[in-house]
């Protein structure tokens, strides 16, 4: 029996000669990631273990992004713990405020993740990097501490579910809509502890940004990771970012593919030619409806950003719709570029000016309101539409607030009308 791409990557990173779904394996990691919430806990356990030096100062990434720039004293203390540890251990990839970005947008942008890599991160959305053809998964802070010590981690080999998308995406639908549609079909536990392998002619045409959006939300279906086989789009992306950052492309960059006789728990196949933009309604990412069915839902706030949809392509989509227009009176529009590079590019292209002249706020990179951190918290009864990845009860503030999830085009259109709006109404 052959292996899926996820199984192949896991096998290469263990000492075993063969693996099967359900096996517990010890793997060597290529990258271990922590942020200002999770890294301090890992650092505490690292010190308790008696360890003095990290296994490899080049293979640890520390990013203060969740409550940074620090929103209060506790946040500042968390960031200081991480900064002190980075200095002490001479961590190469520590990104202070001013150099940072939202971690899951920053790492691919800097060429820190390559196809075939095994990446763990003490953050559930680490699965984002599967878009590059890596096995990337979230772990707990204790697991991260162990990786700091010896570069290893225990993982359970997951079953894989294959998703085949046929047809062609229409003008206003993209990766965010494909993953919302998928979660709507299988539920928030539909891929529980599985690997979600995205494939088909639609995926082969998707940009890397759209692929990153899809894999980012695999966790919202309960998956350990989302993964896409590397192809020419992957190759082009990896080589461009590597060239810009002066990073040597790994020799492991090969066209990893699932074997023809690989075993899958399930295979789903959909023709998405007629798929219109999707919106996840409160209070689950699986409560999905087509945007036209929600035209009567009024909103108080629109957030465009996050590790799901805060890249330059997302801001370009929103900027194109908002150019020369004003947002609905009384509505708050918050635009958060995912990294400093995205921030600068948005300023260079005039996108920042478009958002501000439309009546919006253009923020420094941060996770901010996505997890109820800062820079856009909702109060009781308020309704938000966001390009973020979760809309659980209280996710963006008060437990009695309401969060809808959409792509950037729907978000920008909604900001103009003040109600959930199909972009076709504006453009």
Tens of pLDDT, residue by residue over 412-423, are: 999 999 999 999
Nearest Cα neighbor of 93 from 162, 170, 31 is: 31
51-66 pLDDT, tens digit each: 999 999 999 999 999 9
Instruction: Give the model's confidence band at 241: pLDDT under 50 very low, under 70 low, under 90 confident, else very high.
Output: confident
Residues 233 and 327 in one domain: no
Q: Which residue has the tokens 């810009």?
A: 244
Does 297 lie in the same domain as 238?
A: no
Confidence of residue 233 (pLDDT cuts 50, 70, 90): very high
Q: Per the structure, how many domains does the chain have?
A: 2
The predicted pLDDT at position 54 comes to 97
What tokens were used for 116? 């075939």
Q: What are phi and psi of 321, to 5 degrees?
A: -75, -40
Same domain? 195 vs 334: no
Both 231 and 84 in one domain: the answer is yes
Percentage of residues of the chain with pLDDT beyond 90: 93
Q: What is the mean pLDDT of residues 14-27?
A: 96
130 and 56, same domain (yes or no): yes
DSSP letter, residue 368? G
| Domain termination site, one of 269, 303, 318 | 269
Report the pLDDT value the prediction gives residue 427, as an integer from 0 to 100: 87
End-to-end CA distance of the chain: 51
What's the alpha-carbon Rg for the chain, to the nearest Å? 21
Q: How confident is the model at residue 161 (pLDDT cuts 50, 70, 90)?
A: very high
Pairing of strands 159-166, 194-199: parallel
Torsions phi, psi for 217 (to 5 deg): -95, 10
Q: Which of 204, 237, 269 is the last residue of a domain?
A: 269
Instruction: Please give the pLDDT value at position 244.
Output: 64
How far apart are the C-alpha atoms of 294 and 199, rounded to whole Å? 30
CATH of residue 323's domain is: 3.30.499.10
**Residues 237 and 108 grouped into a single domain:** yes
Both 180 and 34 in one domain: the answer is: yes
**How many beta carbons lie within 10 A of that of residue 147, not counting itself?**
29
Do 241 and 122 belong to one domain? yes
240 and 98 co-located in one domain: yes
Q: Would you state the structure tokens that stand for residue 156, as one six-digit string? A: 């359970």
Q: Do 140 and 62 share a structural domain?
A: yes
The pLDDT of residue 242:
75
Q: Could you list the residue range(s) of the whole structural domain that residue 334 is in?
A: 278-425
**SS3 of residue 158 by DSSP:** coil
CA 304/CA 310 separation, integer angstroms: 7
- Tokens 């933009």 sit at which residue? 277
The whole-number pLDDT of residue 198 equals: 98
Question: Residues 62, 68, 72, 74: what is their CA dihedral angle, to the nearest 10 degrees?
Answer: -10
Angle among Cα 43, 45, 49 to the nearest 5 degrees reads 115
Mean pLDDT of 269-293: 96
Which of 269, 293, 327 is the last residue before a domain boundary?
269
Please tell me whether residues 235 and 287 are part of one structural domain.
no
Q: Are residues 13 and 157 in the same domain?
A: yes
- Which pLDDT does position 253 carry in this prediction? 55
pLDDT digits (tens, 9 = 90+) for 317-367: 999 999 999 999 999 999 999 999 999 999 999 999 999 999 999 999 999
248 vs 153: which has the higher pLDDT: 153
Nearest by Cα to 293 from 276, 318, 270, 309: 276
């Amino acid at each position: 029996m052959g292996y899926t791409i996820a199984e192949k990557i896991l096998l290469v990173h263990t000492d075993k000669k063969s693996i099967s779904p359900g096996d517990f394996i010890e793997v060597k990691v290529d990258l271990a990631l922590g942020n200002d919430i999770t890294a301090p806990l890992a650092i505490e356990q690292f010190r308790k273990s008696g360890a003095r030096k990290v296994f490899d100062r080049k293979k640890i990434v520390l990013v203060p992004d969740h409550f940074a720039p620090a929103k209060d004293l506790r946040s500042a203390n968390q960031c200081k713990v991480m900064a002190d540890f980075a200095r002490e251990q001479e961590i190469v990839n520590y990104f202070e405020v001013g150099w940072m970005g939202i971690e899951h947008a920053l790492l691919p942008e800097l060429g820190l993740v390559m196809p075939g890599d095994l990446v763990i991160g003490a953050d559930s959305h680490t699965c984002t990097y599967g878009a590059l053809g890596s096995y990337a998964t979230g772990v707990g802070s204790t697991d991260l501490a162990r990786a700091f010590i010896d570069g290893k981690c225990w993982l359970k080999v997951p079953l894989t579910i294959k998703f085949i998308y046929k047809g062609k995406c229409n003008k206003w639908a993209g990766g965010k809509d494909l993953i919302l549609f998928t979660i709507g079909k299988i539920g928030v536990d539909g891929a529980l502890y599985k690997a979600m392998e995205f494939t088909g002619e639609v995926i082969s045409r998707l940009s890397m940004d759209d692929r990153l959006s899809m894999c980012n939300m695999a966790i919202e279906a309960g998956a350990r990771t989302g993964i896409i086989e590397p192809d020419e789009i992957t190759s082009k992306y990896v080589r461009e970012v590597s060239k810009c950052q002066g990073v040597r492309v790994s020799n492991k960059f090969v066209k990893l593919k699932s074997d023809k006789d690989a075993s899958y728990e399930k295979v789903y196949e959909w023709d998405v030619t007629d798929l219109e933009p999707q919106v996840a309604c409160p209070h689950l990412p699986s409560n999905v409806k087509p945007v036209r069915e929600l035209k009567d839902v009024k909103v108080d706030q629109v957030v465009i950003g996050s590790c799901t949809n805060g890249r330059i392509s997302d801001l370009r989509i929103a900027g194109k719709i908002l150019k020369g227009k004003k947002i609905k009176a009384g509505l708050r529009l918050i635009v958060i570029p995912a990294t400093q590079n995205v921030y600068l590019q948005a300023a260079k292209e005039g996108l920042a000016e478009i958002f501000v002249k439309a009546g919006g706020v253009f923020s420094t990179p941060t996770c901010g309101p996505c997890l109820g951190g800062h820079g856009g918290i909702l109060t009781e009864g308020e309704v938000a539409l966001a390009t973020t990845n979760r809309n659980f009860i209280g996710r963006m503030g008060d437990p009695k607030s309401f969060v809808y999830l959409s792509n950037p085009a729907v978000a920008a259109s909604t900001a103009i009308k003040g109600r959930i709006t199909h972009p076709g109404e504006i453009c």
